[in-house]
Chains A and B, each alone.
Chain A
Amino acid sequence: MLDVPNWPGHLAGQHVDLRLTAEDGYQAQRSYSIASAPEDRDLVLTVARVDDGEVSPYLVDDLQPGDELEVRGPIGGYFAWEDRMTGPVLLVGGGSGVVPLRSMLRHHRASQSTLETRLIYSVRSPEDVIYRDELTELAGDDTIDVRLAFTRTSPPEWDGLRGRIDAGVLDDLGWDSSPDAVAFICGPNGFVEFVAQSLVALGHPPRQIKTERFG
């Protein structure tokens, strides 16, 4: 949770750049998606801890309330929920790529949007799911549908999606027949590339497929 002086507000889907400076001047900079909705009182980032990472273990393990960080943002405008969208919305997240999509779903609810919105969230195992309870609760909204796809381990008696998301899943769950449909895809590079290309092949309008990749 960040308290940023003079924060101008953000759009769901935007990110911030964080820069860390060590005592001897060494610096490292990373981008993190904003997890909170524009309507939320607090600005929240969700950071996935990368075991051999340079910055995320510090943020997750060492950072204390009251510590100061250098924040630049909000950043981005392309990968952002626009209230003027008219079509159904497909959100596809891989791993921590779900973070900006969670901001969008919270915004959807807070702004009482009526756009049909479906999240497909590809995740390794039940233990890796972030915002599990909140997603379940959001899925109670008439216009929000949440589908989890477990790529490695699924819960006992799971009757939902298993394995990597493939073209068949996207064909079943996408909005490819609607000319106004918008898709937001966020995750690791290969995941985003595959989903985006599959949606194009299924007839989804390419200009309305928005992607954000992380390394």
Chain B
Amino acid sequence: MNPLDGNAIAGPLASFFGTEMTTAEGSCRHCGRTSRVAELRVYASGPGTVARCPTCEGVLFVVTEIREQISVSSDGFAFVAGA
């Protein structure tokens, strides 16, 4: 299963956060690696969509669309302020 990249979740993220997110930066809470959202590995074929760290494959984001409602859990990703 080949992952996509963070550009693939740009739409739902923009809807959820109200702003363009692919250039946003953050660090992985599992391994510390800093990435831009566009650089994450995205697995989009499941019930929801999972974005993982390009270094350690830890889960950074989970995006679901349930009953037309987009939810984003970004527990694994610490956004860098001002990036």
Which residues from chain A sit less than 8 Å from chain B, CB to CB? 15, 17, 31, 72-73, 75-79, 189-190, 210-215
Q: State in angstroms the CA–CA spacing of A214 and B44 once bound together.
A: 11
Question: Provided the pairs A214-B4, A215-B4, A215-B44 are in contact, do residues A79 and B11 lie with their beta carbons within 8 angstroms?
Answer: no
Residue-wise interface mask of B (10-36) relative to A, using a CB-CB cutoff of 8 A (1 in contact, 0 not): 110011000010110000000000001
Q: State in angstroms the CA–CA spacing of A133 and B4 once bound together.
A: 31
Q: State in angstroms the CA–CA spacing of A41 and B8 once bound together.
A: 27
Partner of B20, one of A31, A77, A211, A212: A77
Q: Is B48 an interface residue (CB 8 A)?
A: no
Give, as a whole number of angstroms, the nearest-CB distance from A199 to chain B. Answer: 14
Q: State in angstroms the CA–CA spacing of A211 and B35 once bound together.
A: 13
Give, as a whole number of angstroms, the nearest-CB distance from A143 to chain B. Answer: 26
Q: Is B38 an interface residue (CB 8 A)?
A: yes
B3 touches A76 (CB 8 A): no
Pairs A–B under 8 Å by Cβ, sample size 6:
A75-B20, A78-B38, A79-B22, A189-B2, A211-B39, A215-B2
B4 touches A189 (CB 8 A): yes
Partner of B22, one of A78, A189, A190: A78
Q: State in angstroms the CA–CA spacing of A212 and B4 once bound together.
A: 8
Contacts of A211 in B (CB 8 A): 5, 38-39
B23 touches A77 (CB 8 A): yes
Question: Provided the pairs A76-B20, A189-B2 are in contact, do residues A31 and B36 lie with their beta carbons within 8 angstroms?
Answer: no
CB-CB nearest in chain B for A19: B11
Question: Provided the pairs A15-B10, A75-B10, A77-B20 are in contact, do residues A212 and B5 lie with their beta carbons within 8 angstroms?
Answer: yes
